[in-house]
Amino acid sequence: MDYAARERDADFLMNDVFNIQEKWSQIEAFQELSPDLVKAVIAEGGRLASEVMAPLNEVGDQHGCQLKDGEVTTPPGFKEAFAELTQGGWLGLSGNPAFGGQGMPKSLAGLIEEMFWAANSSLFLYGSLTVGACLSIDAHGSAEQKQTYLEKLYSGAWTGAMALTESHAGTDLGMMRTKAEPQADGSYRITGTKIFITSGEHDLAENIVHLTLARIVDGPKGTKGISLFIVPKYVPQSDGSLGPRNGWASGSLEHKMGINGSATSVINYDGAQGFLLGEEHQGLAAMFTMMNYERLSVGLQGLGAGDLAYQHSAKYAEDRIQGRSATGAQSPDTEADSLLVHPDVRRMLLTQRAYVDGCRAFAFFAGMQLDEAKHNGDERAERFGQLLTPVVKAFLTDKGLEAAVLAQQVLGGHGYVKEWGVEQIVRDARIAQIYEGANGIQALDLAGRKVVRDGGKTLKELLDALGGFDVDPSFQQPVEEAFARLLRVTDSMIARSNEDANLPGAVSTDYLDMMGTTLCAWAWGVMAGKAEDDEFGTVKKQTARFFFARLLPRTIGLEQSILADSDVLMDMPQALFNA
Amino acid sequence: MDYAARERDADFLMNDVFNIQEKWSQIEAFQELSPDLVKAVIAEGGRLASEVMAPLNEVGDQHGCQLKDGEVTTPPGFKEAFAELTQGGWLGLSGNPAFGGQGMPKSLAGLIEEMFWAANSSLFLYGSLTVGACLSIDAHGSAEQKQTYLEKLYSGAWTGAMALTESHAGTDLGMMRTKAEPQADGSYRITGTKIFITSGEHDLAENIVHLTLARIVDGPKGTKGISLFIVPKYVPQSDGSLGPRNGWASGSLEHKMGINGSATSVINYDGAQGFLLGEEHQGLAAMFTMMNYERLSVGLQGLGAGDLAYQHSAKYAEDRIQGRSATGAQSPDTEADSLLVHPDVRRMLLTQRAYVDGCRAFAFFAGMQLDEAKHNGDERAERFGQLLTPVVKAFLTDKGLEAAVLAQQVLGGHGYVKEWGVEQIVRDARIAQIYEGANGIQALDLAGRKVVRDGGKTLKELLDALGGFDVDPSFQQPVEEAFARLLRVTDSMIARSNEDANLPGAVSTDYLDMMGTTLCAWAWGVMAGKAEDDEFGTVKKQTARFFFARLLPRTIGLEQSILADSDVLMDMPQALFNA
């Protein structure tokens, strides 16, 4: 499926909007990151995305993955493309240089990840899980574990997977039954069944490293008794070779709505050898290192899907001639005008673009916070990153689906048939709202943990910090009003939550939607102010106008909805939902 | 896929809310429609839907349709189920009694159609197109054509299809190239290629009757030169037998996102014999008789999908235990509480239910208008029906998709895998927003033709009429505010359209959304007022509370958005959409 990486947008955000070279000059680890090097990274990432990964996107959907005799075969071409992805060092882009990573900023890596997701989300899933596994091992592993695993994973010789979910326990990890029995040699025997394991088994790498949550026998009940284990497909031996096949296997592949090129396995652990990662019973904390990365990254998956959808529908709308402009023929010499003369088609396209560009900007800002927290130990940036993570994950994936559905609508009947490709974007994008913590969980994390429990302190600091950016004068007032609205709603939510434990969950999804839209408003205000009068700048200014006139008003309705108490949800007797 | 027909809701709407027996007593044709007969029709329709059609819904998706040697095979079981559907006389439910139809009210037929759509949209498509073809032949056919076709179609021995779209011309019918050459015997030879022809070729009936739009050679250009033809698969002979195969064939089947059990063909007409239906060059008018029915019916497809989605997600939420209530364990003896303790899960379920029940009520009201227009020649009811048709089509299908996506989210990962069935509802529901006039076309029809061109007269009459219903006192004020908001926006839209031809199209989608939501508000106000204190009534009252508190506020944001002028869309230079 054709995809053009947004190199110019990346440049605009880094240099015009966020003056990133100055920020990076204050971070020791980024001293050698010259503008030329950054440009080259973006260009090469874009090339890989559009020329190597994108052409396999439909192939992956059509062929899917096959399980035969316990072996999983990925779609034709995936092996070669994954080899190119890994040999370029892309999985270690922001990895630890001590073990072969390239140590680049998370914010920069995010721009690249968006491209990879857009080009081929199924293929990049094999990489994304690997990057996440590295983060967890780097943060919680012993020196020996880092030595054994990181370089192999950064290079893509081995890949990673995350094994949390069991069929009876999705979000509720405390109900987990997979058990870990301590062995005399310090390792554990892992036994149990996990479902929905993305990249759990496949043929793209010589080894697959599961990070598996399990309960050490006789450990505490609930989430406090859960530990994290490294459970490789082949256990690395002290001489560097790989041992025999470990005791786990893919029992079946899930049949999914989309991302068919990504192998999603049921994994049966039958006394597999596992190695404790981090502390006993501290598995959730260790897993969250991986999960937080994955959440940001999955947000970028939504963003990439939205941009891919935009590109396909904008192209179709320009090429397709149908009907006449309401103001008279615009192309009198052809049989009809382009779809682009119709205001409602423009609405569908500009809605996609306004969310895609706005979200890219605030996701980049979130990446900057992670960089400052990690490299400069900036405590406030750390909190900003934590606050923004659920918004990036949920808002970008929600808007990614919205964009994909709009793109499909632009294509009309062609949007519903497989040969045009856009229906695949809808099916592929849909998963991003569900996995890595469903968006309802993100919303509760935001409203409950990150805002109410914090008394709104971090949010207010964030809005103060954002207020320090120059905003285009034409949008100064609506941005200020949007901030004021968000603060008003926040205060109300916090006050009412004191007496109503259900309140944060009752309003959380609308609250997250409002925060995401408000962050988009800020981003558009700032971007419009930096836009010049050339074509690129005109697109930004006009899209900003559209956003403020047509999309920001959604927050006015959201405010009213959030002001409702939880009783409008909770008073319905439980038994009557199925009456 | 399990589905329970909403017999109690049908009864509530007919008897408690709309006092339908009194209405029907004033219509000559409905004099014999006793409450017992109506109850029996609803019960038998529900049985057919849940016991015969629903069990084949997943089968249809998995097997799809096959084209081999020009013959299309439908999924296993479809033939037997369709036979049961047709032998019960269901396709002629509101058909002309002079030709074997049962002459029942459209409003009643709509309740039944919702059930059939919910149970198995792919299977019912074969029936729905047949009902539409009957309406067109009944309205525009010669006495001989009615005699020849109607009874066969009502009985389902033959089925109907509608052949409009060509690959280069979707919505813009004026660009049509299929030609009709007059023959000495008064018939025409039809030549051309049509795409997206639902039920165009299949194995469920002994004959298939295409209503095909084509241009009589040397006729006027544009839509004024288009005529409608009956082009049967086998031409009926004067002795009642069927002639040899006519000159058209299914060239291929479309590969679609969903409704896989419905055969969607490319049809090649190669000098096929066709018979003019209605007047020369008046094809669009004749086609719209069929289309207007299909639009209402497709709205009910969205409604059915929404209810099916609700039923599956409500069941899952009740059964699935995960996490604990924010107020402490609700089921301390089990490992976790039901998903129903979580306010955000309730929000997802109540959103579905509030739209489904609200939409069912105003769609039923729309059906009542058609009945009064047809049988009592009520001119105002005719205009109400015309005004409401695009709203029913677009709003119900938009909310159907929204409900299906929410249901999928309730199921989490299980919502994304095929074995749980809900992802199929999403894929199947998606088409309803696209076909029979994409929802953007419905919105333009509403805003431009039905409101602006009419100066808002019919809308105001409608709101006056709706205002005559008793509304529950607790919701009197918000319903009045919603009406006032809609009127305000309408006046503004009309005033600005005088000077800006692009204005209706610029705001049309938001305007339709606002009108649909406002009609839901009215329906909930009325239903809450009629609800008693039993379980059924409690569901209605609580859902109404939820609707007013959490969904109606969307119209506040929509009002602001609609107040924007078209320049925020039109000022973007056309060339920059792909820059």
pLDDT along chain A (579 residues), means of 10: 97 98 95 95 98 98 96 98 96 95 96 98 97 95 97 97 86 84 97 96 98 93 91 95 97 97 97 97 88 91 98 97 91 92 98 98 97 95 97 98 98 96 98 96 97 98 98 98 98 97 98 98 98 98 98 98 98 97
Position A499 in a domain: yes
- Show the CA angle centred on residue A386, arms to residues A385 and A388, nearest 5°: 65
Task: Determine which one of B436, B481, B499, B532 is catalytic.
Answer: B436
> How many Cβ pairs within 8 Å bridge chains A and B?
277
Yes or no, beta carbons of B418 and A256 under 8 Å apart: yes
pLDDT at A271: 97
pLDDT at B110: 97
Position B407 in a domain: no
Q: Which domain holds residue A535?
A: 455-570
Position A440 in a domain: no
Yes or no, beta carbons of A322 and B554 under 8 Å apart: no
Yes or no, beta carbons of B314 and A578 under 8 Å apart: yes
* Strand boundaries in A310-456, DSSP class E: none
Position B273 in a domain: no
Residue A513 identity: D
User: Which residues of chain B from 77 to 136 reach within 8 Å of chain A, CB to CB?
Assistant: none
Chain B contact set for A344 (CB, 8 A) = 440, 443-444, 505-506, 508-509
Position A502 in a domain: yes
Integer Cα distance of B476 and B529 in angstroms: 10
As given in the structure block, the two tokens for residue B66 are 């096959």
Under 8 Å between Cβ of B95 and B154: yes
Integer Cα distance of A296 and A508 in angstroms: 19
Integer Cα distance of B314 and B350 in angstroms: 9
Q: Does B329 touch chain A (CB under 8 A)?
A: no
**Helical pair A121-140 and A143-154, crossing angle rounded to 10 deg:** 160
Position A331 in a domain: no
Under 8 Å between Cβ of B505 and A542: no
Under 8 Å between Cβ of B205 and B189: no
Partners of A216 in the β-ladder: A180
Which of A318, A559, A577 lies closest to B349 in CB terms?
A577
Position A144 in a domain: no
pLDDT at A170: 64
Q: Does A348 touch chain B (CB under 8 A)?
A: yes
pLDDT at A247: 97
pLDDT at B170: 64
Which of B170, B423, B427 lies closest to A413 in CB terms?
B170
pLDDT at B173: 75
Task: Determine which one of A51, A436, A461, A535 is catalytic.
Answer: A436
Integer Cα distance of B138 and B211 in angstroms: 13
Which of B509, B558, B571 lies closest to A542 in CB terms?
B571
Under 8 Å between Cβ of A229 and A236: no
Integer Cα distance of B247 and B145 in angstroms: 20
Structural domain count of chain B: 1
Position A472 in a domain: yes
Query: Which value does ipTM take for this structure?
Result: 0.97
Dihedrals φ, ψ of A187, to 5°? -85, -175
B18 φ/ψ sector (left φ>0, alpha ψ -120 to 50, else beta): alpha
Integer Cα distance of B267 and B374 in angstroms: 34
Which one of A175, A346, A353 makes the best mutation probe of the B interface by having the most chain B beta carbons within 10 Å? A346
User: Which residues of chain A from 155 to 184 reach within 8 Å of chain B, CB to CB?
Assistant: 165, 169-172, 174-175
**pTM exceeds 0.90:** yes
Q: Does B12 touch chain A (CB under 8 A)?
A: no
Of the candidates A175, A114, A477, A436, which has an alpha carbon nearest to the alpha carbon of residue A293?
A436
**A84 carries an active-site annotation:** no
- List of chain B residues with pLDDT < 50: none
Q: Say how many CA atoms lie within 13 Å of A551 toward its Cβ.
A: 30
